[in-house]
Amino acid sequence: MPFQVIPRELVFYDLLEAAARNVVEATGELVALVDEVPSVTIRAEQIRELEHRGDDLTHEIISTLNQTFVVPLDRHDILRLASALDDIVDFEEGVAELMELLPVKEVFPAFKTLVGVLARACGAVLRAITDLRYIDALPPDIAAIKREEREGDFVYRRAIAELYREDFRALEVLMWKDLLHQVESAIDRCEDVANQIESVVAKFR
């Protein structure tokens, strides 16, 4: 297929922003799920649909890259950003499916706190991706993402310690460790987005 020049302000920025908005929407569903566990089946299905939408956006980004000669950012940077955004929703889908399958009756408080950290990080990711259109400076939300990642590490480590320290059954320890790890991994992917944007900005200086 021949290469074509596509207006850069209408394609890759828009697609990456759409992927970031999809991340925020999926995170909102996860927050709602945690706030109201009886709705787990409905929320999990919504997150699955958003995960499929994220896959479609990633495939569209790759397809458009293969058809485009002039791109606004380094091709590898675009691919890595798209992949990290897709990974966030993948981990969120994993959390939703586990909560649907496991006997979760009451949410571990530290888990809810960690999901809140993820929600803030994803909001900052969307703002940072939106600012890619104005690449002359590092988006201020990069620092916010990294701050939330550090907070996520803090909450995660103390949650694991609490699981071992308090009177939890073995099944509960294993269940919440797995769920906490999934959320913490999603937060790490948010930091991957921040690191990639830093790389992009460095190339424009």
One-character DSSP codes across 71-126: -SS-HHHHHHHHHHHHHHHHHHHHHHHHHHHS---S--HHHHHHHHHHHHHHHHHH
Q: Which domain holds residue 105?
A: 8-203
With cut-offs at 50, 70 and 90, classify the pLDDT of residue 114: very high
> Does residue 2 lie within any of the structural domains?
no
Q: What is the mean pLDDT of residues 87-101?
A: 95
> Does residue 129 lie within any of the structural domains?
yes
> Does residue 177 lie within any of the structural domains?
yes
Task: For residue 164, count other CB atoms closer than 10 A to its CB.
Answer: 9
Q: What is the mean pLDDT of residues 133-137?
A: 73
**Single pTM value for the model:** 0.91
> Does residue 166 lie within any of the structural domains?
yes
| pLDDT at residue 4 tops 70 | no
With cut-offs at 50, 70 and 90, classify the pLDDT of residue 3: very low
Q: Choose between 188 and 2: higher pLDDT.
A: 188
> Does residue 196 lie within any of the structural domains?
yes
The per-residue pLDDT of the chain, averaged, comes to 90
> Does residue 1 lie within any of the structural domains?
no
Span of 46-50, 65-69, 96-100, 141-145 with lowest mean pLDDT? 65-69
User: CATH number of the domain that 177 lies in?
Assistant: 1.20.58.220
With cut-offs at 50, 70 and 90, classify the pLDDT of residue 167: confident
Report the percentage of the chain scoring pLDDT > 70. Answer: 92
> Does residue 119 lie within any of the structural domains?
yes
Among candidates 10, 71, 113, 25, which has minimal Cα distance to 200? 71
Residue pair 40/179 in contact by the 8 Å Cβ criterion: no
Q: How many domains does the chain have?
A: 1
> Does residue 95 lie within any of the structural domains?
yes
